A and B are shown apart, each in its own frame.
Chain A
Amino acid sequence: MIPLDLLQEFSIILLGTCRDVLPIVILVAGFQLLVLRQPIPHLGRVIVGSVYVVIGLALFLEGLEKALFPLGKIMAAQLSDPAFIYRGGEIAVHADWKAYGWVYFFAATVGFATTIAEPSLIAVAYKAHEVSAGTISQWGLRITVAVGVAVGISIGTFRIVTGTPLYLYILIGYVIVIIQTLMAPRSIIPLAYDSGGVTTSTVTVPLVAALGLGLSATVPGSNPALDGFGLIAFASLFPIIAVLGYAQLMQLLIRRRTK
């Protein structure tokens, strides 16, 4: 017996995903009918596939709402709680960044784990594998991007704890990306840039945002309005550095071997 409230919740989420797909359906149908004036190839298969996407995404979101988000948010709150961090010791007026070791580690693991499960990244990795004729492995790309997000978010939490300005980190990150771009193999550059944008959607954003706002609300001397934002920016920047870096490393290894 499926409980009624679960069913009701699910239908609300299902409606939400339908609304997400609606603009695309209208756009595709409009262009086919008015501009291209030709039938869609394999229409039946495409419709079945789209229904799968909508239902799959709704189930996925419902599961996250039920299980992972509440848990992740509770854990983020518990870990950033001053009572946990200073363990009965005196709660400092100014945050001591060394006391937040578990927070950085939690940020890194949450960043890594949620990125592995991110559906947009799965989609892009699938396409990249197909287009590169198998030279880019799906898991290789996903793990590299996830490592990038992990490093990015833990540096982001460090920034919230220390209260240093966001733009400094982002600007330094940009300079690193620009230098790497000049040296990395050309074929990886577009994919590396794209992997910055795909990491932050359904799974990562809610958990990471909860962690950021939770931290900035509890860290002594920080302002949620100014310090709570910005974690997502870290999660979009560092995967680019990670993917470019991985490609550079591979290039270096191949050069060594051929010498």
Chain B
Amino acid sequence: MIFSFILKKCKEAVTDLLPIILAIAFFQIVVLRQPLPQFGEVLVGALLVVAGLTLFVQGLEMGLFPIGEAMAQALARKGSLFWLLCFAFALGFSTTVAEPALIAIAAEAAEIAGQGGLIAADRSSLDQYALGLRLTVAFSVGLAILIGVLRILRGWPVHYLIIGGYIVVMLITVIAPKEIIGIAYDAGGVTTSTITVPMVAALGVGLASTIRGRSPLIDGFGLIAFASLLPMIFVMGYGLLIFGRSG
């Protein structure tokens, strides 16, 4: 029984991976017409990916989803708005500040700003710039989750906040220095990591299903959207603060 269960899970993971394998095979064979380099390593890698994905999904069902929902429900039942908002902010800030993708993109952004002569190109001012960028993004993600939780409690429709956010992004893009725009737009995408997303989704759905009159589908989702939007505004704001207005 356990064996057939594992087999079923693995089959799901293989299906997840199939498009990548097909895409790579197509381009190697049909377009580039070159033999696959290191076929053995690629095969081992693919097996690791399948095994990893299987375990990850299993772990989500057993660990991350239940704990996220249990925390949300316990905090909602406790009835303390202060602690709930604290938890929301801390979840967003702490998972983002050490996110490897963010560290990489902040370092790269510092290099570009240094080459462009926008900041002094010595090591300490580059590091300071990158650290400032990271803290800005982490703070904005924390704030985003906090606002998102407040929205679930109050039952505000998500689209007013998001459309309002879009309008702010558009306006600030006009005055932001152009060197920061691409990085700011990308910063929104890289903040939400693979472990943060399930926790945040469970927090939203857990809260919405505990509070009377909230639908988990309409009110439970939307936290991740805030976490992708707010960093864009804050990073461009950071650019304005450091570089001054463009043009």
Chain A interface (Cβ within 8 Å of chain B)?
A: 16-17, 19-21, 23-24, 26-28, 31-32, 35-36, 38, 40-42, 45-68, 71-72, 74-75, 78-79, 84, 102, 106, 109-110, 112-114, 116-117, 119-120, 122-124, 126-128, 131-132, 146, 166-167, 170-171, 174, 177-178, 181, 186-187, 189-191, 193-194, 196-202, 205, 225-233, 235-236
B46: CB under 8 A from chain A?
yes
Q: Are B221 and A63 in contact (CB under 8 A)?
A: no
Q: Are B74 and A36 in contact (CB under 8 A)?
A: yes
Q: Are B182 and A113 in contact (CB under 8 A)?
A: no
Which residues of A sit under 8 angstroms from B61, Cβ to Cβ? 49, 126
Q: Are A102 and B194 in contact (CB under 8 A)?
A: no
Q: Are B224 and A124 in contact (CB under 8 A)?
A: yes
In the complex formed, the residue of A with least CB distance to B16 is A117
**Contact among B64, B197, B221 for A50, CB-based, below 8 A:** B64
Q: Are B59 and A41 in contact (CB under 8 A)?
A: no
15 pairs across A/B with beta carbons < 8 Å? Answer: A20-B95, A24-B95, A53-B55, A56-B57, A56-B59, A63-B49, A63-B51, A66-B45, A84-B32, A131-B220, A200-B190, A225-B115, A231-B186, A233-B188, A233-B189
Q: Which 5 A-B pairs have the closest CB atoms?
A: A49-B63, A67-B45, A49-B62, A52-B59, A56-B55
B135: CB under 8 A from chain A?
no
Alpha-carbon separation in the docked complex, A76 to B28 (Å): 11
Which residues of A sit under 8 angstroms from B178, Cβ to Cβ? 226
Q: Are A53 and B223 in contact (CB under 8 A)?
A: no
Which residues of B sit under 8 angstroms from A202, Cβ to Cβ? 193-194
**Residue count of chain B within 8 Å CB distance of chain A:** 105
Known contacts A35-B78, A53-B64, A63-B47; A186 and B186 CB within 8 A of each other = no
B225: CB under 8 A from chain A?
yes
B37: CB under 8 A from chain A?
yes
**Contact among B95, B186, B193 for A229, CB-based, below 8 A:** B186
Expressed in whole angstroms, the minimum distance between the Cβ of A123 and any Cβ of chain B is 4
Which residues of B sit under 8 angstroms from A71, Cβ to Cβ? 24, 36-37, 42
Q: Are B24 and A119 in contact (CB under 8 A)?
A: no
In the complex formed, the residue of B with least CB distance to A168 is B173
Task: Give 18 new A-B contacts, CB below 8 A, not counting A146-B19, A181-B159.
Answer: A24-B91, A45-B63, A47-B63, A49-B58, A52-B62, A53-B63, A59-B51, A63-B50, A63-B51, A109-B23, A117-B17, A123-B60, A124-B221, A187-B217, A189-B159, A189-B218, A225-B116, A232-B185
Q: Are B182 and A50 in contact (CB under 8 A)?
A: no
Alpha-carbon separation in the docked complex, A119 to B27 (Å): 24
Alpha-carbon separation in the docked complex, A166 to B188 (Å): 15
Which residues of B sit under 8 angstroms from A61, Cβ to Cβ? 52
Q: Which residues of chain B in 180-210 are interfacial with respect to chain A, using CB atoms and an 8 Å cutoff?
A: 181-183, 185-186, 188-190, 192-199, 201-202, 205, 209
